[in-house]
Structure 1
Amino acid sequence: MFSKKFLLLLNFPSLFFAQEKMLSADFDGDHIKDKVYLDSNNGAVVYQLSSQKFKKISSNQFEDSGEIFFDQSKNGFKVKLNQMRAGYVYQFRYEKEIGKMRLIGMERYEFGPANNDGSGESSVNLLTNTYIGEWNYFDNKKTKLIKIPTIKKKMVLPKAYFDNLGNVFSTYIDKDTSYYLAEKKRLYKE
């Protein structure tokens, strides 16, 4: 009986893990629904705000591999990119003063290779410049996965907006990786 249920889950994963391909909510605070979606014509992620007469604002800077989903957040939306063994999240909030969606946070996760070395997750809050990493490494001597104590650091990245993310995500990954490697080196002596 267990195996039949398990096979059912494997055959119909979309029933249990459905996420939004288009999101409609009030992002700019005028009580009229705005939207964010994947433009099927060019593959760009687009948002349209009612306060800007639904003008299309697009970003071609998101990775084009994997699946893209959208979630509503407290004051905006998240763009989620899921790949085979890794994923990324960008969180945006509307800044009324300049009329743009600002990048206010990023997250990422990785499963690592088969032994899960380098697996874990991290996030950075760009409003408070707070980085938190929850990573693991594989200890070859003990032949087991070891959890690294939570890494908390200050991470200052430049302001970025939906229509011009620049290299802020790659800078985040570079700093994140260096924090992980420094902790792994400190804890793991071959």
Structure 2
Amino acid sequence: MKIFKFLLLLILPISIFSQEQSISADFDGDQIADRVYVDDNSGTVTYELSSQKFKKIITEDYLDSGEISLKKKKNGFEIGVNQMRAGNSFQFRYEKSNGKMRLIGMQRYEFGPANNDGSGKSSVNLLTNNYIAEWNHYDLDKSELIKIPSIKKKMVLPKAYFNDLKNVYSLYLDQDIKYYRSEKKKMQKSKN
């Protein structure tokens, strides 16, 4: 009996963590449920649309190591990738004109190092090109975390789709960092 309990304790966590996350919904508007799911073994996300005879469309390797989650959204789905002190998410919607799942929004957050310098979050809506960010920086002179005023700008990025995100995410990240540094520099100049 003790061996059985020991084996059960070994197997139970494996079966809990290897469960597949999936969403079934009509993404392509044909009144037939489509599917998106995470393959925990490979760390990829796959979608299958009924209008495409459930052909598997698999992500390329853009999901960095981290905990992957799926959320159903009003017009599509969102993939979240959470790491220890940072994360990002990608929101998709079916584009009827080409039969693909288009990236319509991205978000990211960071907690920064122990003093939370550079902590905050940002997002970009790829349909309206609206970028919004709420960042903080740590003021060494005051020994306190200072909130940077909200950043609201236009950010125009190229169209991107489900299995072709690396380039557009890199562009978003680079521009996001530039905006943060620019606002931080303005605050530091006004302090002097």
Indicate the TM-score class for this superposition, using the shorter chain for normalisation. Answer: 0.7 to 0.9
Match of 1:183 in 2: 183
TM-score by length of 1: 0.86
1:126 matches 2:126: yes
Q: State whether residues 22 and 69 of structure 1, in contact with CA within 8 Å, keep that contact through their aligned partners in structure 2.
A: no
TM-score by length of 2: 0.85
Q: State whether residues 132 and 151 of structure 2, in contact with CA within 8 Å, keep that contact through their aligned partners in structure 1.
A: yes
Q: State whether residues 61 and 165 of structure 1, in contact with CA within 8 Å, keep that contact through their aligned partners in structure 2.
A: no
Q: How far apart in 1 are the matches of 2:137 and 2:28?
A: 42
User: What is the deviation of 1:21?
Assistant: 2.0
Cα deviations by residue, 1:75-110 (Å, 9 ceiling, x for unpaired) = 100000000000100000000110000000000000
User: What is the deviation of 1:156?
Assistant: 0.4
Structure 1 residues without counterparts, runs of 5 or longer: 1-19
Q: How far apart in 2 are the matches of 1:146 and 1:49?
A: 46
Q: How far apart in 2 are the matches of 1:61 and 1:155?
A: 25
CA 1:112/1:166 → structure 2, altered by over 3 Å: closer, same or farther? closer
User: What is the deviation of 1:163?
Assistant: 2.0
User: What is the deviation of 1:41?
Assistant: 5.5
Q: How far apart in 2 are the matches of 1:40 and 1:184?
A: 39
Q: How far apart in 1 are the matches of 2:122 and 2:42?
A: 30
- The residue type equivalent to 2:98 in the other structure is I
* 3-state SS of paired residue (1:131): strand
User: What is the deviation of 1:26?
Assistant: 1.3
Cα deviations by residue, 1:18-45 (Å, 9 ceiling, x for unpaired) = xx82111111112221111123564321
* 3-state SS of paired residue (1:188): helix
* 3-state SS of paired residue (1:77): strand
Cα deviations by residue, 1:48-96 (Å, 9 ceiling, x for unpaired) = 0111111100112332311101001111000000000001000000001
- The residue type equivalent to 2:60 in the other structure is N
Q: State whether residues 62 and 166 of structure 2, in contact with CA within 8 Å, keep that contact through their aligned partners in structure 1.
A: no
Of structures 1 and 2, the larger Rg is shown by 2
Identity over aligned residues, as a percent? 66
1:37 matches 2:37: yes
Cα deviations by residue, 1:108-128 (Å, 9 ceiling, x for unpaired) = 000000000000000000000
Structure 2 residues without counterparts, runs of 5 or longer: 1-19
Q: How far apart in 1 are the matches of 2:43 and 2:120?
A: 29
Q: How far apart in 2 are the matches of 1:134 and 1:40?
A: 32
Q: How does 1:108-127 map to 2 (within 5 A)?
A: 108-127=108-127
Q: How does 1:47-62 map to 2 (within 5 A)?
A: 47-62=47-62
- The residue type equivalent to 1:169 in the other structure is Y
* 3-state SS of paired residue (1:72): strand
Q: State whether residues 60 and 164 of structure 2, in contact with CA within 8 Å, keep that contact through their aligned partners in structure 1.
A: no
